[in-house]
Every structure is written in C-alpha cells, then in structure tokens.
Amino acid sequence: MKLITRIKEMQHFISEEKRSGKKVGFVPTMGYLHEGHLSLMKRAKKESDVIVVSIFVNPLQFGPNEDFDRYPRDLERDKQLALEAGADVLFFPDTKEMYPDEPVVTVSVNKRVDALCGESRVGHFDGVATVLTKLFHIVSPDYAYFGLKDAQQVAVVQGLVDDFNFPVKVIGCETKRESDGLAMSSRNVYLTEIERKEASHLSQSLLKAKNWLLDGDSGETEQKMIKYLEEHTSGFVEYSKILSYPELLPPSKKSKKLIIAVAVKFSKARLIDNIIIDNILTRQESGEETCSVH
C-alpha cells in the first residue's frame, strides 16, 4: 500500500492507473478507522481495480466549539487497518496541502441541509461539499463509497455529483453496527461506560418508530421517539425526525422513501442514527402492511 501526502503525486498516480484502464474506488474518511470504514473498503475492493482511501480531518466542516482538535487521530493504526482491508493507496494530506491559502471559492449547499444535522450545524455541509469537490478532482474516482449512517451527507453528496456533473457513481452502503445495534462511529470512544450501554437505544428507537408508523401513528411517532430516548438515555435528544429521502422534506404520499433519524448529545459525544424505509404512507393507502429497511 502506498502512502501519498502530496496532491500532485496523487494525481500523477491516478493518471497512470486510469491510463491502463483501471477503475478507481474511493473511500473518503477523517481517519480513526472502524469496521464501518473497512466495510466500505471491502466493498470497493469487489467493484474496483484500485482502492484509494483518504484521511483528512477537514477543518471547514467543523463549527465553533465543535471537536476538531479533539477528533481522534492515529495514522499508524489506520495504515494497518487500511492495508488489511485491501486499500492500494492511503492519501494523507495535511491542512496546508489541502488549503495552502484561505479559499477563494467554496461550495454552498442550498437544499437537503435545512433539517437533521444541517439545521444546527450551519455551514457544516458547505465544508463537506467543498472538500469533496477537491478530493473528487484529485482522486478522479469512478466510484465513491459512503456509509448511510450519515444519510444526510449521502443525500448532499449525490446532489453535488448530479449538479456539478462529476463522472463518479455515489454508492451508499448499509450502516455497520455493534452487536447491540449501536451504529459504529469514531466518536463512540468518547462515551462513558454507562452512556455506551444507553446508546444502543438509538437504534431501538428507530425500529420502534418503524412499527409505530406501520400501526398508523404517523402524527405521533416523532414525539414518541423523543419520550422513549429521554426515558432510556441520559443524553439530550437534539432531534427525532421523519422526512422524505433523499429530499429531506416533510413526507407526502408522493415520497418514494422515508428516513427516520435521531441525534442524541451525550456528555462528550454527539451520536446520530437512522433507517431508510419505503414510504409507509403509500403502502398504507394500498393496504400493504410491510416495509423494507435500508
């Protein structure tokens, strides 16, 4: 596995690989890799010839008082994990390499950011879209892999690719979970022992919400989720939402899919989780009683 830290070297390497007809799979990360990241690499390995993993803790997507300086970092550990997962290249630029000067141009996201995490993290997805615009130009991937744990990010990235005509296919991959259902995240290390036990209730609240929707409680489900989480965790429930996906708008019978999403702030970690399901409103109208979860 090659470790590349310079943009020009990365571009030269990719140019040579693509000249020989190879397909490039790309997994952008902020490091401190876990099984969720590794599952993206393993899928990329099945579908691409060259696997590029980037590690860059992007300062543009952290707001004031967020955890940029505390964000966990361990390059040697990440190198070993990426190697074992089949990565061919680890692209590890520093901040000066990615942003040598204050940017003249950044990307502004206009839709799909006025709900869920985007509602409270103003500018966060502008930072995500800006760094991915750079990375897509640097790596020139054919396929880019993202975990659906952050389904809002996947929706924004798909919009970025569609609007800017990037020749890359965005592939959203199923959330990897611990044995008790907790979505894997680099921030889970910040949970106390008690909070770690409580955190499993995030995924349980989503499954309960799906069943409440199936029972016809669409008008009460969000509040019932909040009540459940307040009773079973010590964290602050930032939101519990049911929206259309990927539009992230109030759902209607025309919505093809729905997202059920939650965010809970514990003492030192903010956790998010979601499930994406076929539109239950449509299914109820047609008399069906089941839905699929993605």
Whether 103 and 111 have beta carbons less than 8 Å apart is answered as no
Whether 156 and 247 have beta carbons less than 8 Å apart is answered as no
Cβ-Cβ contacts under 8 Å for 88 (sequence gap 6 or more): 1, 2, 50, 51, 52
Asked if residue 182 belongs to a known ligand binding site, the reply is: no
Catalytic residue among 12, 37, 137, 294: 37
Asked if residue 67 belongs to a known ligand binding site, the reply is: no
Asked if residue 158 belongs to a known ligand binding site, the reply is: no
Asked if residue 240 belongs to a known ligand binding site, the reply is: no
Residues 90, 53: Cα–Cα separation, whole Å: 5
Asked if residue 11 belongs to a known ligand binding site, the reply is: no
Asked if residue 75 belongs to a known ligand binding site, the reply is: no
Asked if residue 145 belongs to a known ligand binding site, the reply is: no
Asked if residue 140 belongs to a known ligand binding site, the reply is: no
Beta strand segments in the chain, E? 2-4, 24-29, 50-55, 89-91, 143-147, 169-173, 236-245, 257-265, 270-278
* Helix H or strand E encompassing 9: helix 7-19
Residue 96: helix, strand or coil by DSSP?
helix
Asked if residue 172 belongs to a known ligand binding site, the reply is: no
Residues 49, 145: Cα–Cα separation, whole Å: 14
- Please say if 37 is a catalytic residue: yes
Asked if residue 32 belongs to a known ligand binding site, the reply is: yes
Active-site residue numbers? 37
List residues forming the annotated binding site: 30-37, 61, 147-150, 153, 184-187
List residues forming the annotated binding site for beta-alanine: 61
List residues forming the annotated binding site for (R)-pantoate: 61, 153
